[in-house]
Chain A
Amino acid sequence: MAVVWSGLATGSVFALVAAGYNIFFVASGGFNFAHAQLLMLGVFLAEWGLVVAKLPIAVTFGFVAVSICLVGVIEERLAVRPTKDLDTLLITTVGASSVIGGVVQLIWGGQVLEVPIYSANTRSLLNGALPIAELWLIVTAVVMTVLLVVAIRRTRVGLALLAIAENREAALLRGINVPLLSFAAFAFSGLTAGLVAPVVGAETFASGSLATSLALTGFVALTIGGFGSFGGSLLGGLIVGLVGAEAEYWIGVQYSNLCIFGVLIAVLLVRPTGLFVSARERVV
C-alpha cells in the first residue's frame, strides 16, 4: 500500500504541473514550458519564507502565491505577449524556463533544502502508515482539479476561456477581451503554482533539479489526459505516478520510464487526443 500512496503522491505532483500547463493552453492554445520552473521557484520561496523569514505557514502560502503570480506576469510581458505565433511562444517560454532556472541556481546554488510545513510529530497518520505530506499532495491535486473544472464550466470567465480555446477569432468578434483573459490565465497559472508549491516542496524538498524532474513528466501526464481537460490532467498524472512507482517496485527503476512511455503510446494509439478529450469533426 505504501507504494500505491507513494505513486499517487508523485502522480499528484505531475497532475499539478499538467494542470498549470492546461490553464494557459485553454486560454491561448499554447504552452508555458516554464511552468515547472515557476513551481520550483515557488518551492524555494516557500523554504525561504518558512525557514529564513520564519513566516507563519498561512502567510508563506500567500507570499509564495503572490510572488509566483508576479513572476508569471513578468514572464507573460517579456516572453509571451510579444510573440506572434505558437512556434515563437515555444521558444520564448523555453528561454524563460532557462532564466528562471538560472536565477534559482544563482540564489540557492546546489542546495537541497527541506520545506518544513509539517512538524516532526505530524508527519504521518495511522501509526506512520500514511505520510501526511503525501496525503496532502493528493488532496491538493483533487481539490485543485475540481475547482478548475467548476470554474471553467460554471463561470462566465471560464466559458469565455473555452470560447477562446474553441475559436480565438470568433471569441474576439463576440466581444471577449482575448488578450486580457489570456493574460489573466497566465497570471492565474502562476498563482496556482505558487499556492501548491509549499505542499509539493514538503514532499520533494527544494532542489535545483526539481523542475527537470517535473517538466517532461508533467507534459506526459497532460498528453495522456488530453490537452485542455483538467480531469484528464489529474488522471494522467496519477496514472504516470502509479505506473512509475509500481514498475520501480516490481521490475526495477530501469524500466520505469519505459512503462510510462509505453502507457503513453498505448493511450495515443487508442485515443490520439488523450483519455478525456474527444476529436471533433468540423465542417469545412
Chain B
Amino acid sequence: MRSRIFQASAVMACLALGLAACSSSSKSSSPTTTRTSGPGTGSGTSAPTGTPFVVLLEAGLSSTGSTLATVHLLTVATNAAASVLNSQGGINGHPVKVDIVSDGGSDPTTAVEVLNNYLASHAAPNLVMNTGPSNVSAAVLPIVASHHLLMMNNGDTSNSGDATKFPTNFDMQPTQAAYASSFTAYAKQKGYSSVAILWAQDTFTQPEESFLVSDLNAAGIKITGNEAVSPEALNVTPQLAQLKSGNPDALFYMAFGSIAGYVVQDASQLNWNLPIAGDIAASDSPVLSTPPAAGMLGTPAENNLVFQVLQASVKGSASQTAATATMLNAFQQAGGANGSVSDATNYDGLMMAAAAAKIAGTITNVNALVSAIQGLQPGQAATGVYPYYQYSATSHTPIVPADSYIFIKPAPIVDGLFVPAA
C-alpha cells in the first residue's frame, strides 16, 4: 500500500511539475547574456560602442487568470519597443537586448530571488522593467534603489512614485484619479445630476472608488448609492437592487472579468434600464467585448452600456499618432496584442528611456537619465499608448493628459484596438 501511495504522490508531483514547466517554458527565455560593462552609479561612465542596452524584464510568466494576459501583453510590448528601437539603430547606437526572467506566478519572494541572482551573475542592466503587480514591485523596488538601477515600473505601490524614496524608479500607470475624473467629466457631459456607484473590492478599484466619490462630490453630482462587491461573487443582484432603490440617473461601475459581465447581465434581469458606464477595467473584460456566443457584445443586455477606453486604443481615433501606428505595427510583428493596447505601457517605458538616453547622451549615467526623463516634453519620446507622461523631480507617478479617456459603446478588440460599429 505504501508503495502505491508513493506512486500516486510521484504521479501527482510529476503532473504538477510538468504543468508548471509547460506554463513557463513556452513563454520564458533564460537570461544568458554576460556583459562586461553596465551602468555605473551615476558617475557618468560611457559604454563602449556595440555594448548592448540591456533591459531586464521581470515577468510573471507562470501567473494565472487575468494577470497572465497582462503579463503576456507587457512582454510583447517590451519586445516590440526593442524591435522598433533596433530598427532605428538602437539607443545611442547601442543595440537593445531584452533579458526576460520569470518571477513565477508574480510571486514577490521569487521576484527578489531572481533579481538578486541576475545581478550576481550579470552586469547591471541599463533598465529594469516588470509586469507588476504591486506586491511584486514593492518587494523589488528596494533592491533596484540600492543598486541604483533605472526602472520603469508597471506595479505602482503607495510610495513607488515618491522620488525621495525611489529616485531611479518611474511608475508607468497613471493614478486611478485619471480614470475617476474621466467619469466625472462624462457625467457632466451627459447632464447626470445623480449617479450610483458599484465597485469590485480589488486593489485596482478601491483607490479608483475613493477618487470617484471625491470627484463627484466636488462636482456637485449626487451619489445615490455606493455598493461594493466581492471579486469572488457569483452575481451582483443584491447590490444592484439596493442601488436601484436610489433611483439614480446613471450607474457607474468599476470591475473586471466576470463581475463586469454580471453587472450588465443582472441589471438586464432586474429590468433596470438606466445608462451604465463601466471603467477601463470593464472595457478590458473580454466577456463584454466579445460577440455571442462566447460574450455579450451586441446583446440586448449591453444596450445601455458604455465603457471607458483610452482614446488611442480606439481604431481611427484622432489621438493616434505616428508613434501609435509604429507601435501597433511592431506589436503585430512581436506576436500580436491579446487585448487592448491601453495596458501595454512597457512600450512607452522603453521609448522614454531611449529618449532620455538621447537627450542625456549616455546609456549608463543613471542620474542623467533620471533627470532627462523628469524633463521630457510632449513629443520628445515616441510613446504609443499615452501621448505624454509628465513626471517631476519630486513625483515619479505620471500625469497623463486629462482627455486621455473617453466612453464608447462596447466594441470588439481587433489587433489591440477597439473597433466601434460604423
Contact = CB atoms under 8 A, between A and B. Distances in A.
A109 to B, nearest CB: 5
B413 to A, nearest CB: 13
What is the size category of the interface that chain B forms with chain A?
A: 35 or more
Contacts of B258: 112, 204-205, 207, 209-210
Nearest to A257: B230
A129 B1 CA distance: 57
Interface stretch (B2-10, B170-178, B344-352): B2-10
Contacts of B121: none
Contact of A256 (B16, B230, B293, B294): B230
Given A92-B12, A109-B68, A246-B238, A82 B261 contact: no
A53 to B, nearest CB: 11
A98 B286 CA distance: 25
B296 interface: yes
Interface residues of A, number: 60
A10 interface: yes
Contact of B235 (A6, A47, A103, A106): A6
A245 B237 contact: yes
Interface in B252-291: 257-258, 260-262, 266, 268-271, 285-287, 290
Given A112-B286, A128-B269, A213-B232, A99 B5 contact: no
A216 to B, nearest CB: 9
Interface string B312-344: 000000000000000000000000000000000
B317 to A, nearest CB: 26
Interface of A: 2-3, 5-7, 9-10, 13, 47, 50-51, 78-79, 81-84, 88, 92, 95-96, 98-99, 101-103, 105-106, 109-114, 116, 120, 123-124, 127-129, 131, 134, 203-205, 207-210, 212-213, 245-246, 248-249, 252-254, 256
8 contacts: A79-B8, A79-B12, A82-B8, A110-B64, A111-B286, A113-B287, A113-B290, A253-B229
10 tightest CB-CB pairs across the interface, nearest first? A6-B237, A82-B8, A248-B238, A249-B238, A110-B66, A82-B4, A110-B65, A116-B293, A131-B269, A128-B271
Given A110-B64, A204-B258, 8 more contacts: A3-B237, A10-B235, A92-B9, A98-B16, A116-B293, A249-B239, A253-B228, A256-B230
